[in-house]
Amino acid sequence: MQYQSPASIDEAVAALASIGGARVLAGGTDLLVQLRSGAASPAAVIDIKNIAGLRTISETADGFRIGAAVSGAEITDHEALVRAWPGVTEAAGLIGSTQVQGRASLGGNVCNASPAADTTPALIAARAIAEIVGPGGKRSIPVEQIATGPGKTSLASGEIVVSFLLPKRPASSADAYLRLIPRTEMDIAVAGAAVSLTLAEDGTIADARVGIGAVAPTPLVLDASFLVGTTLDEAVLAKLAEAAGAAARPIDDKRGTIDYRRKVVGVLAKRAALIAYERAKGAR
């Protein structure tokens, strides 16, 4: 197996395109596990951690650009980003353990395409856009369009996700992400829910977006338009829980039953909405 560590995006794309079956290596916390277990045996791994642009977080007039290979620890250390996107950053901070945090990236989390990836629902709720570079040039797509099924993505051969764009935060706006795991860390979500809310002057919800995870082959966008105009009273929360459960298409497995996952994703959506709402009130 070959190992390459290109210094630029173009070199990385060229290497990926020229070696059949080559894989991108970011933090390696998914890929190395797959290599060790024999689940993957690519001809080459192309390490993207030495490409400068992929390792930085920058704040622009339009919001934040997070390099695809930035680690969880770097994300949760970025104060301005944490202030603007508490939900996305708490999702990134949940991955693994202290050791895993030093390596695990957003690009890896989204492109590994696990149904239970923690950051994807939060990025969905944030309306994140993925910037992709490949042999055919650049393109940008909403993050929910990357994963197409467990372990499957819409990326064409040779394509790399280079960064994620998070829009600028309006006033009175915040997000939150919650997942359920039987333990407190080093575990995989049984269900997850992210909610991003923007409040109007009068405290009613002006904009809402909800992403749910681990309850379908890919993380899903939940139609949460019914939240707009409300202040999250009991009835609305119950409706949100119900909608999340109804949108879920979970499986029965060793980690949870269909029935359990439907219920819990609803509970998490409700709780995440309340947290986001409180945060948004504080973010006036």
Partner 1 sequence: MTYEQKNLRVVGTRPIRHDGPDKVTGRANYASDFTLPGMLWGRVLRSPHAHAKVLSINTDKARALPGVKAVITGADLPLPPPGVTQAGESAINTQHLAKNLLARDKVLYDGHPVAAVAAISEAVAREALGLIEIEYEVLPHVIDVDEAMKADAPLLHDDLFTEGVEPRPETPSNIAKRIVVSKGDIEKGFAEADIVIERTYTTKAVHQGYIEPQGCVANYAEDGQAMVWCSSQGQFVIRDLCITMLGMEASSLKVIPAEIGGGFGGKTTVYLEPLALMLSKASGRPVKMTMSRGEVLRATGPHSGSSMTARIGAMKDGTITSAEVVIKFQAGAFPGSPVGAAVMFCSAPYDIPNLSITGYDVVVNIAKVHAYRAPGAPNGAFAFETVLDELAHELKMDPIDFRAKNSAVEGSKSPYGPTYGPLGGIECLSSAKNHPHYKANLGPNQGRGVASGFWINIGGQSAATVVVNRDGTISLVEGCPDIGGSRASLAMMCAEVLGIAAEKVRPSIVDTTAIAFNDVTGGSRVTFATGMAVVQATEDAVRQMRERAAKMWDIEVDQVGWRDGAAQEMNGNRSLTISQIAQKAAKTGGQIMGHASINAAGAGPSLTTHLCDLEVDRETGKITILRYTAFQDAGKAVHPSYVEGQMQGGVVQGIGWALNEEYIHDENGRLENAGFLDYRMPVASDLPMIDAVIIEVPNPNHPFGVRGVGEAPIVPPLAAIANAIYDATGVRMRDLPFSPPKVLAALEAAEKTKANG
Helices (H) and strands (E) in the chain, counts: 10, 14
As to burial, measured by CB atoms within 10 angstroms (0-12 exposed, 13-18 middle, 19+ buried), residue 192 is: buried
Out of 160, 247, 273, 283, point to the residue binding ligand FAD (CB under 6 A).
160
Smallest separation, CB 143 to partner 1 (Å): 25
Confirm if 104 and 91 have CB atoms less than 8 A apart. Answer: no
Residue 127 or 262: the one with the smaller Cβ distance to partner 1 is 262
Which of the 8 DSSP states describes residue 226? G
Look at residue 183 and give the partner it binds from partner 1, ligand FAD, none, a contact being a CB closer than 5 to 8 Å depending on partner kind.
partner 1
117 lies in the site for ligand FAD, by CB under 6 A: yes
Q: Which of residues 137-156 bind ligand FAD (CB under 6 A)?
A: 155
DSSP string, 119-172: HHHHHHHTT-EEEEEETTEEEEEEGGGTEEETTEESPPTT-EEEEEEEEPP-SS
Smallest separation, CB 94 to ligand FAD (Å): 5
Residue 132 or 237: the one with the smaller Cβ distance to ligand FAD is 132
15 lies in the site for ligand FAD, by CB under 6 A: no
Residue 158 or 277: the one with the smaller Cβ distance to ligand FAD is 158
In the block, residue with structure tokens 């940008």:
140
Vertex 21, ends 16 and 26: CA angle to 5°? 60
Smallest separation, CB 81 to ligand FAD (Å): 16
Smallest separation, CB 10 to ligand FAD (Å): 15
Mark the segment that binds ligand FAD (CB under 6 A) among 19-27, 231-239, 251-259, 272-280. Answer: 19-27
Confirm if 198 and 207 have CB atoms less than 8 A apart. Answer: yes
Confirm if 50 and 11 have CB atoms less than 8 A apart. Answer: no
Out of 94, 197, 224, 243, point to the residue binding ligand FAD (CB under 6 A).
94
Could you give the CA distance from residue 61 to residue 226 in angstroms, rounded to a whole number?
A: 30
Which of the 8 DSSP states describes residue 24? E
100 lies in the site for ligand FAD, by CB under 6 A: yes
Residue 23 or 270: the one with the smaller Cβ distance to ligand FAD is 23
Q: Where does this chain bind ligand FAD (CB under 6 A)? A: 23-31, 33, 48, 68, 94-96, 100, 103-105, 107-109, 111-112, 117-118, 155, 160-161, 186
